[in-house]
Amino acid sequence: MQTVQSERLPILENLPIAIASDHGGFTLKSLILEELMRLGRTSVDLGVFSSERADYPDQAKLLAEAILSGDSKMGVLICGTGIGMSITANRYKGIRAALCHDEYTARMSRQHNDANVLVLGGRVLGVETALGILNVWLSTGFEGGRHIERLNKIERLL
């Protein structure tokens, strides 16, 4: 059984960030990639590479596998609302995907839940809001402490 450890890699390390979207998140994904580049963060674009129809479960699977294999430590998923990506990603043991709609939920998803995947809705968030969420999520670390046992309880459910 995998357990969450109190010693976590600092969030500010330049670990590769995987990113994937379906057609509903393609435009926002392009802007997120530009922001990651501006921040000097290494990213791995897992697609999609156009706004043509694509199924979110396929893209969520690619990203979850990249994280679980160790190719990436964190990821960003984007679909129209973020709901489908969130549901799919959280089916994978070891993935803690958080659908965030504001900077507060982004901060709490990292501090309390040690989320390793940020999920955004490309059709429901403004660009400035989405970039603000991304920046807060990337710059916030896991608090550990009482939250470790809670995460371990989640792991024991699977």
- The reply to whether 23 belongs to the active site is no
Catalytically annotated residue among 23, 100, 112, 147: 112
Whether residue 21 contacts residue 76, with contact meaning beta carbons closer than 8 Å, is answered with no
- Per DSSP, the residues of 51-108 read SS---HHHHHHHHHHHHHTTS-SEEEEEESSSHHHHHHHTTSTT--EEE-SSHHHHHH
Judge whether 10 and 141 are in contact, CB under 8 Å. Answer: yes
Distance CA(155)–CA(52), nearest Å, equals: 36
Q: Examine the residue annotation and report whether 147 is marked as an active-site residue of this protein.
A: no
Gap between the Cα atoms of 28 and 24, Å rounded? 9
Which residues belong to the active site? 79, 112
